């Protein structure tokens, strides 16, 4: 066998590739050179016939040529086969107006997104995230939080109790078991387990026996937060909650703090933001008040500190709780809470 001129093969191949004027002819060329019975395959077949000392060098050259040609084919395909560098789209080349190729993304539920946005804001202020069980004891849900069992304030915390197998209420060491009606029992759990300083937010599901309609659900999502340390003041409560509200609703929002009543805080607060729809002019969303109630808060009641074994003379703190669903509805202009739990995929994909 005479010496084979690999350089010549390369030269011819490159000329032919450049001259290809359709994807079909390019395909043919690729088969001619790189196919199973193609020219390069033939060259490889020659190797055993060469003198031993030449085999390695020859093999390398063939391999190098293979890579060069592969690259040339790819480049030509990308540019579009045909006379000159490019041909017009729509002839036989690629149509960039065809749909792009990707795995279409799914979605994370709006409630998760909003809860994450809120926890993210508090995390930047130094709060950590804790989660707790939805089945709670009467102590953690009520008594520990200074809510007397027979007080009318319990009316607003109407609660699902759990049934014991033989009838009556299912009980644990801490009293009757129930589905938590707010995320506040985590104040008791965390404070019983840890010592100050503490700054914690708790997102989670809560339950109340409310008939389902456009604005009520028997299952909804809350986010609780609390900060306990020495010398924590009402000013800190305002500072943290203002930063949160501006983070969620924007810098130009106006805020007001109104006195309110919660058994587990004293002084207690409700925070309103200027209506995001009417900018406080008055509209149906805000009931023509111009303000939207966003959360309840207050300085943690000394009785709550006593219940968890903290010295109220030494520590102070504030706590707050808000409806994640409510904030999601307000922020995205959704008029029916049921949409959050219907899981219509067309709804889910919007967020």
Partner 1 sequence: MKFSYNWLKDFVDIKADAEALAQKLTMAGHEVGSVEPLDGDFILEAEITSNRADCFCMSGMAREAAAVLGGKFKAPAGFFKDMPKISKVSAGFSVSLDSAVDCPLYTATLIKGVKVGPSPEWLRRRLESIGCRSINNLVDITNYALFEWGAPLHAFDLDKLSGGRVNVRRARQGETLVTIDGKKNILTPEILVIADAGRPVAAAGIMGGAESEVSGSTVNVLLEGAIFDPVLVRKGRQLMAAQTEASYRFERGVDAERVRASVERALMLILSICGGSAEVRVQKGAKIPRRKQVRFSLSRAETLLNIKLPRKLASKILSGLGFTVGKSASDPDILTVEVPLYRKDVQQQADLEEEIARIYGYDRIPSVQPPVVSGLSGLTAWQCVLEIKNLLSGQGFNETVTYSLVDRRSLEFPAEKPGEAIEILNPLSREQEVLRTSVMPGLLRCLAYNLNQKQEELRLFEIADIYYRTASAARNEERVLALAVCGTRRYFNGETFREDSLGPLHIKGVLEMLFAWAGLRDCSFRQHSVGMDISVYAGKERLGEIIIPNKKQAAAADIKNRIVVLAEIKLEPVLRARLSLQKKFRKLPLYPAIIRDISLSLREEIPLREIFTVAVQSGGVLLKEVKLTDIYKGEQISPGHKGLTVSCVYRSEEKTLTEEEIAPVHAGIVDALSVRPGVSLR
Q: Cα–Cα distance between 199 and 318 in angstroms, integer?
A: 10
Q: Cα–Cα distance between 300 and 305 in angstroms, integer?
A: 7
Nearer to partner 1, 72 or 269 (CB): 269
Nearer to partner 1, 106 or 309 (CB): 106
Closest CA to 40 of 75, 4, 76: 4
Nearer to partner 1, 9 or 301 (CB): 301
Nearer to partner 1, 18 or 64 (CB): 64
Nearer to partner 1, 84 or 106 (CB): 106
- Supply the minimum distance, in Å, between the C-beta of residue 290 and partner 1: 11
- 280 phi-psi bin (left φ>0, alpha ψ -120 to 50, beta other): left
Tokens 């032919």 sit on residue: 16
Tokens 């007397």 sit on residue: 148
- Supply the minimum distance, in Å, between the C-beta of residue 79 and partner 1: 16
With H, G, I as helix, E, B as strand and everything else as coil, classify residue 296: strand
- Supply the minimum distance, in Å, between the C-beta of residue 3 and partner 1: 26
Task: Report the b/e string of 2-24 with b at 16+ CB within 10 A.
Answer: eeeeeeebbeebeebbeebeebe
- Supply the minimum distance, in Å, between the C-beta of residue 21 and partner 1: 20
- Supply the minimum distance, in Å, between the C-beta of residue 33 and partner 1: 23
- Supply the minimum distance, in Å, between the C-beta of residue 22 and partner 1: 15
Distance of CA 42 to the CA centre of its chain: 56
Nearer to partner 1, 1 or 346 (CB): 346
**Structure tokens given for 155:** 């009316």
- Supply the minimum distance, in Å, between the C-beta of residue 37 and partner 1: 19
End-to-end CA distance of the chain: 70
Tokens 């006379």 sit on residue: 83
With H, G, I as helix, E, B as strand and everything else as coil, classify residue 336: coil
Residues 6+ positions from 300 with CB-CB distance below 8 Å: 187, 226, 228, 264, 265, 316, 317, 318, 319
- Supply the minimum distance, in Å, between the C-beta of residue 264 and partner 1: 11
Please give the biggest Cα pair distance in the chain: 107
Nearer to partner 1, 66 or 238 (CB): 238
Nearer to partner 1, 9 or 317 (CB): 317
């Amino acid at each position: 066998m005479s010496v084979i001129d690999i350089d010549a093969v390369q030269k011819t191949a490159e000329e032919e590739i450049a001259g290809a004027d359709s994807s079909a002819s390019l395909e043919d060329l690729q088969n001619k050179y790189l196919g199973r019975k193609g020219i390069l395959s033939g060259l490889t077949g020659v190797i055993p016939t060469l003198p031993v000392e030449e085999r390695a060098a020859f093999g390398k050259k063939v391999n190098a040529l293979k890579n060069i040609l592969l690259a040339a084919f790819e480049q030509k395909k990308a540019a579009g086969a045909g006379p000159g560098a490019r041909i017009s789209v729509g002839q036989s080349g690629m149509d960039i107006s065809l749909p792009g190729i990707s795995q279409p993304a799914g979605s994370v539920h709006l409630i998760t997104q909003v809860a994450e946005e809120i926890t993210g804001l508090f995390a930047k202020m130094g709060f950590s995230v804790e989660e707790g069980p939805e089945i709670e004891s009467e102590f953690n849900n009520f008594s520990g939080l200074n809510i007397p069992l027979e007080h009318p304030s319990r009316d607003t915390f109407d609660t699902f109790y759990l049934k014991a197998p033989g009838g009556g209420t299912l009980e644990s060491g801490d009293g009757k078991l129930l589905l938590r009606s707010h995320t506040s029992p985590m104040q008791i759990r965390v404070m019983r387990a840890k010592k100050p300083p503490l700054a914690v937010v708790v997102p989670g599901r809560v339950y109340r026996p409310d008939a389902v309609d456009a604005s009520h659900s028997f299952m909804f999502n809350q986010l609780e937060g609390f900060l306990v340390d020495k010398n924590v003041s009402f000013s800190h409560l305002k500072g943290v909650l203002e930063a949160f509200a501006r983070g969620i609703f924007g810098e130009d929002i106006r805020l007001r703090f109104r006195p309110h009543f919660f058994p587990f805080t004293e002084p207690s607060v409700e925070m309103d933001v200027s209506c995001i729809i009417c900018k406080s002019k008055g509209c149906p969303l805000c009931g023509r008040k111009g303000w939207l109630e966003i959360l309840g808060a207050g300085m943690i009641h000394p009785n709550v500190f006593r219940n968890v074994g903290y010295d109220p003379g030494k520590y102070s703190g504030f706590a707050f709780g808000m409806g994640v669903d409510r904030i999601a509805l307000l922020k995205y202009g959704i008029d029916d809470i049921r949409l959050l739990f219907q899981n219509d995929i067309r709804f889910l994909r919007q967020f």
